[in-house]
Structure 1
């Protein structure tokens, strides 16, 4: 999948979970899902996150290859360990975004080594798509529609998202004002 399809499909799955589990659709959760949905592609220097990784993606690709260990449940468990140590909206979002990325790539023609490094087999599924294809474009449109439907119509997740965003911005402004007071004294 391309990065935008990963982000939108992951946000859609995250919104669906928020509705099903009555979990707050918090701005930290949303940011975490977005970041987590891009993180497995740290193994590709030309990917959206790879181009912004200050050379880390080149090292990871040389060492493990694209769609190698970073596209496995083992890597997801390592990333999810951060949530166990620092539980927050952000860290649960990163963990879920990472998992949603893996699920999305599992359905691609190339698939992923889901059990790497223990078993490098790439399972093949009955429904697949090719990255960058018309089929992926259709999936992007479907996920975009579902995301808006979940957030604004069915689940009405937007009030909490707006409230948590306002609280975040307010906190940042207070921190900056306190910092400016400190340096001006």
Structure 2
């Protein structure tokens, strides 16, 4: 398993190894010991799996505030997505900055999105499945979102009219969103 930094401190790209032969391939998508050696020593408590039927479906930018804030380890198991993480930690020198990566069933890449970051993805193909581990349970009373198209963030999604939920269509801009996370100055 290869674990690499991204342009945002604490957001990591995880690339599991694949072992193939004429039957196909095998990949160990999670290994607690290897993750802990890379500084990700998290007790995962929930796995989520989503299906987005249409290409151009956008889910995000989401967060879950304390006391049920979530770290996430995200992968695409069918199709492809543009995955995005945005620094949402008040006081961070990277506040409002974002990184993106294409995750697909073909490339097997994963992204680690820590607490304090907004997360979202855009499907790049029909019938896309995304799976992710979470470090806390889903708590509807802690659920939040920021507008996917906020010009103050400026994510280049590559689409103008994605398929959206009402929650995502009506999410507040970054300037109007609550600030449940504070940067601790560690990085």
Q: Do Structure 1 and Structure 2 share a fold, with TM-score over 0.5?
A: no
* Structure with larger Rg: 1
TM-score range, shorter chain: under 0.3
TM-score between the two structures when normalised by the length of structure 1:
0.25
TM-score between the two structures when normalised by the length of structure 2:
0.25
